[in-house]
């Protein structure tokens, strides 16, 4: 396994499956891993706020016997108050791992290059690997063997869509991104996923028709229409994405036993209706919980 976890593609398919195995074992028996990172400290760098990322990493490192230190934008202000290089060279002498949630993906790449300790990507504008690990762990719990399943992501071709494509490519899960014209995933991310999928046989595709996209899907996934930093576009995005709302009618085009997933936070009534997110087939809260278990497994593998 690589020193860092910056994208899902940093892991092979076997390494991802091993991570899932460890995560499920941790979920089953927390006490078994209570001291595996005893005395280790994880720095949590947040340039963007988060409920799930903050809680799951903070709680997760403590459940493994370690500690965390929260570093807010005011304390670091990456690249402005202090350079990424200087932050990396300081922290590598004080802590045993760094989780960073920031904007530009280059920041986590640079941090990985310059710090001698493990770097975990908690989110960038390009990718959200920890979320994808929780997503596919949930899909595995619900559906068993992942190979040959189909996941359809409906909405903006953003960092979450990129990570879902990467994970599907590695694990043999067909991933369809259904989005409006002009809001497709980053072309480089798409091409990278398609290339990676050659080994597993997965199909990675982008379509503009949401009903065609969810056809025969085992899982339907969505995200907010306007992410952090896109607030000024919210009104225009609402108009463009309204036909891509995941509602009961759209879900009826997926498989009869399809599950619904969402990275959260959800804007109920926008990208998803209450009837879907609160339905028995919705697994958004088990999925959110699995952030904790998947990330604990990643921390254990990198920092142990």
Phi, psi angles (nearest 5°) of residue 159: -60, -35
**Could you confirm whether 216 is annotated as catalytic?**
no
Q: Looking at 4, 58, 63, 101, which residue is catalytic?
A: 101
> How many of the other CB atoms lie within 10 Å of CB of 249?
12
**Could you confirm whether 105 is annotated as catalytic?**
no
Q: Looking at 130, 152, 179, 263, which residue is catalytic?
A: 263
Beta pairing partners, 67? 41
Q: Looking at 52, 291, 293, 295, which residue is catalytic?
A: 291
Residue 151, classed as helix, strand or coil, is: strand
Spatial separation of the C-alpha atoms in residues 264 and 172, rounded to whole Å: 25
Q: Looking at 40, 63, 131, 245, which residue is catalytic?
A: 131
**Could you confirm whether 40 is annotated as catalytic?**
no
Contact, 177 vs 206, CB < 8 A? yes
Q: Scanning the structure block, which residue is given the tokens 């576009």?
A: 233
- Among the listed residues 295, 286, 265, 266, the one whose alpha carbon sits nearest the alpha carbon of residue 44: 295
**Could you confirm whether 131 is annotated as catalytic?**
yes
Phi, psi angles (nearest 5°) of residue 214: -85, -5
**Could you confirm whether 101 is annotated as catalytic?**
yes
Q: Looking at 170, 223, 270, 293, which residue is catalytic?
A: 223
**Could you confirm whether 291 is annotated as catalytic?**
yes
Q: Looking at 52, 105, 128, 140, which residue is catalytic?
A: 128
Active-site residue set: 101, 128, 131, 223, 263, 291
């Amino acid at each position: 396994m690589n020193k860092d976890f910056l994208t899902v593609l940093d892991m092979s398919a076997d390494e991802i499956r091993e991570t899932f195995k460890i995560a499920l074992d941790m979920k089953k028996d927390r006490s078994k891993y209570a001291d595996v990172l005893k005395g280790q400290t994880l720095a949590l760098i947040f340039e963007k706020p988060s409920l799930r990322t903050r809680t799951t990493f903070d709680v997760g490192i403590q459940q493994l016997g370690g500690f965390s230190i929260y570093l807010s934008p005011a304390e670091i202000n990456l690249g402005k108050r202090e350079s990424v290089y200087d932050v990396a060279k300081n922290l590598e002498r004080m802590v045993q791992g760094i989780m960073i949630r920031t904007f530009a993906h280059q920041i986590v790449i640079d941090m990985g290059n310059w710090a001698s300790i493990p770097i975990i990507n908690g989110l960038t504008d390009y990718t959200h690997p920890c979320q994808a690990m929780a997503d596919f762990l949930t899909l595995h719990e619900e559906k068993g063997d992942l190979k040959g399943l189909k996941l359809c992501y409906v909405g903006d071709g953003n960092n979450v869509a990129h990570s879902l494509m990467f994970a599907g490519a590695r694990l043999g899960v067909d991933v369809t991104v259904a989005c409006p014209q002009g809001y497709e995933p980053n072309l480089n991310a798409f091409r990278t996923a398609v290339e990676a999928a050659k080994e597993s046989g997965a199909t990675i595709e982008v379509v503009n028709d949401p009903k065609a996209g969810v056809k025969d899907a085992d899982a339907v996934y969505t995200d907010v229409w306007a992410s952090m930093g896109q607030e000024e576009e919210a009104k225009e995005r609402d108009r463009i994405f309204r036909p891509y709302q995941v509602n009961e009618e759209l879900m009826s085009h997926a498989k009869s036993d399809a599950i619904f997933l969402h990275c959260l936070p959800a804007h109920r009534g926008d990208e998803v209706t209450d009837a879907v997110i609160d339905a028995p087939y919705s697994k958004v809260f088990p999925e959110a919980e699995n952030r904790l278990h998947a990330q604990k497994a990643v921390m254990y593998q990198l920092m142990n």
